[in-house]
Amino acid sequence: MRKVEAVASGILNSDTAELEAINLNIATLDNWISPAPLNLVPTQIARPELLILQAQKDKAGAINMLRGPVAMLVRQSETLRHLMGALVPMEKDDTPRTGDLKLTFGILNKGDSDGVVSNRATLKFDGGELWLVVADSWTSVKAHSLQEVDAQVGGDDDSGKSTKLWHKLVAANKPFDVEIVLNSNADLTRPVHKVTLSK
């Protein structure tokens, strides 16, 4: 649990710094009047040169490109704070693990056209692969927007072998690495999340 708390704390600190940089860029864009020089700070979400190009064509559009990530980072920070608060009682909880897994993903479409996310994602781990049910059908993600999707373990394609191995690994109450892949069309990023499930 301490390892998870340390990772969550690190992500939270990174999110806080990213939020400060993005909000600074929003304020700078809001006050900028063309053709004056436009100086933006680097962020992980959007490269300054791309924002400057967009601002020269459409300042409001450039600002909107940043508002979606701000909302995503705020929600992620709130989730991490809840997680860190829940870790304390969990350290003393001896409830057996079931292997059930529910996730919420924030899908950011940075493109100029709408995109879609598959209704199935993939959960990979050593010796097995499960599919995650994301939705009943493909999820639409509007251009320059953020769409949250929920996912949960659905099953496997190898006659239950991966499902049995997954439950065995979870029940062992030891850390192990997993990789989660969300599939989308070319206009969206294809997030691959590599994490370690801690005991």
For 28-65, the DSSP string reads HHHH--TTS-------SSS-HHHHHHHHHH-HHHHHHH
Domain boundaries, the chain: 2-90, 102-197
> Which pLDDT value is given to residue 189?
46
For residues 86 and 163, what is the distance between their CA atoms, to the nearest angstrom? 27
What token pair was written down for 69? 């990530």
Contact predicate 22/43, CB 8 Å: yes
Distance CA 118, CA 121 (A): 7
Could you read off the pLDDT tens digit of each residue along the chain, which spans 199 residues?
567 777 778 888 888 999 999 999 999 999 999 989 999 999 888 788 988 999 999 999 999 989 888 888 898 888 888 888 877 666 665 666 777 777 777 777 777 888 888 888 888 888 899 988 877 778 888 888 888 888 888 888 888 899 899 888 888 878 888 888 877 765 444 555 555 555 5
- For 100, residues 6+ apart whose C-beta sits below 8 A from its C-beta are 152, 153
**DSSP state, residue 142:** -
Q: Are 175 and 199 in contact (CB under 8 A)?
A: yes
Report how far residue 24's alpha carbon sits from residue 64's, in angstroms, rounded to the nearest whole number: 14
> Quick one: pLDDT at residue 185?
67
The CATH code of the domain at 102-197 is 2.60.40
Query: What does the buried/exposed string (b/e) look like for 145-155 if buried means 16 or more CB atoms within 10 Å of the residue's CB?
Result: bbbebebebee
Please give the full DSSP string across 100-122, using - where no structure is assigned.
--EEEEEEEE-SSS-EEEEEEEE
**The pLDDT value given to residue 195:** 56
Determine how many CB atoms are found less than 10 A away from the CB of residue 8.
Answer: 17
